[in-house]
A and B are shown apart, each in its own frame.
Chain A
């Protein structure tokens, strides 16, 4: 059996080292092509008429004037008369014209009448008595839960408690499975009680989820030596990808489409376009060289990807480009669900956690959304969770890096930090005391907590919360996080040509995380040739499929499939070369661009000479992940991370400045340390951004987003970046776990760590992110009793 296992540290030339990103040069020189940059011959430009109302019914649409305007090639109604619109900014009609100005003029000439309907865009605490018990669930409800990343445990308890309004068909189950429903949820659906015809047809905006209880929380609270109660929350934010969503589609003949699309899911797009466009997925070619940000919001072609292809057909198949305008990008193309909670948490005098109770709520837009997995990381022995999902008209939610986890971290770590403050304990000691509740990751967290404390200088910086503050004050805070990150399904074709050139083809995508670099690191390390001797082709449906890049699954997937392909190709090459070296294939090794007999440096061929033995035809092998026939498992699941923040707060103005952040992170075997660290730096900065600035602000009167631009939807800028320290856990205890994803974990903790640091500085909790001056001053005023 070939040895697929990752080489140990002594036998790695590139894996685990610092390798410079292979696509940096094309990016810094402006040569990297993104979907937005693609120009096709005779390309037309799409522009969209968007609905200005948050909840309305389309009564009539008149496109006649638009159709006659100069330069207009096609007008297409997306949601016609009778359509119910559930958020402002939703698409009504699209125009394709010879240039953008002409398309814009034509959009303005479309006349639409609407019938107003009442809307709700608030996600404030549900008014008492308004929340409705969930009735039996329809399959749509189940699908909504899945779309909103409701954790499996909650889905199961909802299904068990409320039952179903219809028995799921095998097709339903198959579809849910394809959409990622875990087996336990499918099992719950199969065995659920069915109440025919009992589905909620007009559900309330406020939907109660099943109460979940562990142990005996009432008893634990009555016996508790210390109890802390608090209110915590994190608002809806948007993805704000710098390259907006969109695509360029053209019909190359009557039934073939060529699509350039900005996507995290190159291999999965054709399958999603096939049904609405009524052509086989095999007839849809999808291509993407680079993507300008996704963060969880770009897995599907979206309605606009479909209508761009539809209007292209109307325009004789000419290429049509439609990229979302910036305001549309912020309004409709991505929102992270909010989460708020009143939390009560109890401990013994020595800090041992005993009980948790939370009443939480939040919105993921029209679908409502789920409860984040609280209490997070720490499995407190006695728990009760009640959650109300708010269905409203802010626009649909999408996965945002580490779905549900940043919310869970804020709701949990802030509540626990407040309890530590009640106990007058240093949070490091308090959390350390409870590390046994983190179960599988206990040792990792213990080690990380120690390293983080050192790197932060925690001992010197931490102080008990002050009674009173004056002027500029400092504080420190910390948070823990966890994530899965097992590698996704990935196929990799690796070809060795008789002239010695090597080619890898994979339908994956590089989100800027270093995917290209890591694929080449693995292949070059395995084949013993330089990275630039390998041509890597990704981002096309003509290449073997790889999963979507979400949930930190890419690195484990592509590194595993590449490793298996490279090992098989290497061994096949050894078999061809062995006779020429007078050796058995298993006596050969390849390194430094040579194939040689182990321990005999005189019997050696250059890589080129060795490859000439391949024969007339190139040698192609396919590596797969997962592949049980080719053990061991090269990827794994489950990481832990600890982060600490130091802040400075001006108690007169309420302005919070982050001064330093420390991230200590494990992700199994690191493939490229340099891009891994960059991923963590980026996550810390994104975390500072959502902790201090980001919020999708909705106008309750008009139901529209008030800050759909980049001036008032603020991202952290250069002047917000403090001292950042990143420490990757590597070596024994980590490397042998295999490759695990890193995209999500480091972005989870910043909100909680920064909020806790502010509480430490001010002596008062600012309940909700972002920690804006008005919120800081209000919290101080409330404490002062003014």
Chain B
């Protein structure tokens, strides 16, 4: 089998499908069994040709904070690791690395996502905005300014994720009730206990109308 041959996934895996057990295992564990390649590959899945990437490094393109980035990455690399290790955009933090704490929150097409739980390869062709993009012409975004005014950071490690989450929350809830705030920001955790300041910061922005 050549690397660039399409691999056909059988429509059914019964004995008479024509695929040997060994071959089937090879196909189904594709992501670990295929040697390092850079070119795209396709498989037949549910009657359609589906591209297969990796497991070696593949070329990827991103739009981050309005700029285009090109690089080669393994498909298993997360958006968070790509941002931090490839593009040195370290505002989003790696804390739990499994969608539990929100410290890596970024905007993908305007919606907040946990960058640790989005594969970089899936984030291509989407508009990614990190905390670094919120400062416009040297001026803090109103949410950031409210964080400063209300002393809403201590060690500051959760802060960028919280800032992005608050911005996204206020975009969709310009006049939140206390209950909205409790629910809307429950996806981010802080260890120093800065929630009180963040709560005030949100109130400040909501009142002024960002």
Contacts and interface: CB of A to CB of B under 8 A. Distances in A.
Contact of B131 (A30, A36, A39, A293): A30
Interface size class of A (residues with CB under 8 A): 35 or more
Given A242-B101, A512-B156, A715-B191, A30 B92 contact: yes
B190 to A, nearest CB: 8
Interface stretch (A367-375, A626-634, A673-681): A673-681
A376 B74 CA distance: 57
B115 interface: no
Interface string B91-116: 11111111011010000000000000
Interface in A691-740: 709-711, 715-719, 721, 724
A259 to B, nearest CB: 19
Nearest to B146: A28
Given A28-B159, A512-B153, A513-B154, A21 B196 contact: no
B155 A718 contact: no
Interface residues of B, number: 59
Contacts of B195: 685, 716-718, 721
A682 B144 contact: no
B182 A719 contact: yes
Interface stretch (B14-22, B23-31, B45-53, B81-89): B81-89
A287 to B, nearest CB: 16
Interface string A272-301: 000000000000000000111101000000
A625 B117 CA distance: 48
A293 B191 contact: yes
B199 A243 contact: no
Give the residue among A27, A678, A682 with the most B Cβ atoms within 10 A: A27
A679 B186 CA distance: 22
B132 interface: yes
Contacts of B189: 242, 710, 715, 717
Contacts of A511: 154-155
A715 B74 CA distance: 33
Interface in A9-44: 20-21, 23-25, 27-34, 36-37, 39
Nearest to A677: B151
B132 A28 contact: no
Residue of A678, A682, A718 ringed by the most chain B CB atoms within 10 A: A718
A33 B89 CA distance: 11
Given A710-B96, A717-B189, A512 B155 contact: yes
A28 B97 contact: no
Contacts of B154: 511-513, 678-679, 682
B98 A709 contact: yes
Contact of B192 (A20, A32, A512, A717): A512
A240 interface: yes
A29 B182 contact: no
Nearest to A18: B151
Interface in A232-249: 240-244
A685 B193 contact: yes
B92 to A, nearest CB: 7
28 contacts: A24-B147, A25-B148, A27-B160, A29-B131, A30-B91, A31-B91, A31-B132, A36-B90, A36-B93, A240-B191, A244-B95, A291-B155, A292-B93, A292-B157, A293-B155, A325-B97, A326-B98, A511-B154, A512-B192, A513-B154, A679-B154, A681-B196, A682-B192, A682-B194, A686-B193, A709-B100, A715-B190, A718-B181
Rank and list the top 6 A-B pairs by shortest CB-CB distance, nearest first.
A30-B91, A685-B193, A292-B157, A512-B155, A682-B193, A27-B156
Interface of A: 20-21, 23-25, 27-34, 36-37, 39, 70, 99-101, 240-244, 290-293, 295, 325-326, 511-513, 674-675, 677-679, 681-686, 689, 709-711, 715-719, 721, 724
Given A293-B157, A710-B95, 15 more contacts: A24-B151, A24-B153, A29-B140, A30-B131, A34-B157, A39-B85, A99-B85, A242-B95, A674-B151, A682-B194, A710-B189, A715-B190, A718-B186, A719-B183, A721-B196
